Structure 1
């Protein structure tokens, strides 16, 4: 029978306890880097506009967030 040992260690976050893994798991600084501040908004558009956005997303293999972000950044960079 295989024995899995679990280690408990001090996290880098204000002395919180956390599990320490020899492989994988959360590592400080890992993952996709943020590109800005995330704020949740609710946006009401016509069905036709949403369909155009979705078609653009499908055709260009991008997310809705990326399309809307590009539109807003283009507008405000003028």
Structure 2
């Protein structure tokens, strides 16, 4: 890739900078689609519980977020 192929541009969102290549570029609606609102939480569990949870995630090929989201959806959709 040569230096002529990269430009820096301003997206439509709050003046954020982004890299523009010869193809594609900053477009409204581009990228991964959101599935909801993101909120950060801290969770305290025993070492044994974390080990079980990590094993569960690995066996199912899930990230921690996916596993917790699935557990919460199953719990709240059944009520």
TM-score (norm 1): 0.71
Structure 2 unaligned blocks of 5 or more: none
Alignment: residue pair count: 76
Distance (whole Å) between structure 1 residues aligned to residue 40 and residue 3 of structure 2? 45
Bigger Rg, which one: 1
Give yes or no for the alignment of 1:54 onto 2:31.
no
Q: Which has the higher helix share?
A: 2
TM-score by length of 2: 0.70
CA contact (8 A) 1:8 1:17 kept: no
Aligned ranges 1:32-51 → 2 under 5 Å: 32-51=32-51
Change (3 A) 1:57 1:22: same
Q: Gaps (5+ residues) in structure 1?
A: none
